Structure 1
Amino acid sequence: MSVTKEYYDEFNNFYQGNLSVTEAVKRFNKLARLCPHMVPNEEERLRRMIGMLRSEIAVIFDSRITPLTTTAEYIKCALHVEYHLNKKKESQPR
């Protein structure tokens, strides 16, 4: 398998998993630079980025009245959601 095909496969199957939003976005951006034709415009970049997040974060974007239109807005919102989810987990008794 060629290096390029490996990157395409990784990009197509990339999922946040246990990564933080910041780590996932960094990896996503690296893969997007290596596979530029897979994200030819902001709309496709945003669609793929939303698809790579854990469902507990991504679900927030489905409930928005006004959709986000740029990846910068999306990342800011995802970081905000992640922060509050982490605060909630910290405050729960163990």
Structure 2
Amino acid sequence: MHIETMFRSIVVATATTAVITSSAYAGNLADPIIEGDVIEEVQEDSQNRLPGWVLPVAALVVVGAIAASGGGGDNSGAAAGGGGTLPVINPKP
């Protein structure tokens, strides 16, 4: 039983030493955080910039012009509708 008491006292002493030394060095291992200077952003003149709606409207105009021109494809084929006329089917006499 004498060995168990010695072992227990060694464990308690080791745990106590670990707690004391870890709290003694807490916060001393990291470098201090130093904040830098605040840099203000320079606002550009609003007269030199386009409004936000100009680019989407220009894109819609370009897409509308392409759609109105017919896309530039050849529409005379059977897959394209054959010019809008239906074929005439003669009934049997």
The two structures share one fold, judged by TM-score above 0.5: no
TM-score, reference length from structure 1: 0.22
Q: From the CA coordinates, give the structure whose radius of gyration is larger.
A: 2
TM-score by length of 2: 0.23
User: Higher relative CO (CA 8 A, sep ≥ 6), structure 1 or 2?
Assistant: 1
